[in-house]
Amino acid sequence: DTAVSQTPKYLVTQMGNDKSIKCEQNLGHDTMYWYKQDSKKFLKIMFSYNNKELIINETVPNRFSPKSPDKAHLNLHINSLELGDSAVYFCASSHRSGTLDEQFFGPGTRLTVL
């Protein structure tokens, strides 16, 4: 009954490959997010979707493409992976996109690009 789940937990791949990370939330939330946590531990927002519509798109290479088939899912597809893409990617969700809404994070996906 995990609230926010991500798959896979670990992903090791070669440079140049295309990979996807899946995220699902069963909290009935309207807003979902993708964050990247690099080796320096900073968490940075990448994308935010509200009811399947993109509302935040920070400066992220267009090799990263989020896809939201429904409001319970927000998947992240990455094309032509680069060494610098190695990081932990966290999915999160909140009830609304309002500033006081608590965000619930998934367990993270550790991506290693060789």
Residues that bind other proteins (CB under 8 A): 4, 40-45, 48, 56, 58, 90, 92, 99-100, 102-108
Q: How far is the CB of 49 from other proteins (least distance, A)?
A: 13
Q: How far is the CB of 21 from other proteins (least distance, A)?
A: 13
Between 1 and 102, name the residue whose CB sits nearer to other proteins. 102
Q: How far is the CB of 112 from other proteins (least distance, A)?
A: 14
The 3-state secondary structure of 37-86 reads ECCCCCEEEEEEEECCEEEEECCCCCCEEEEEEECCEEEEEECCCCHHHC
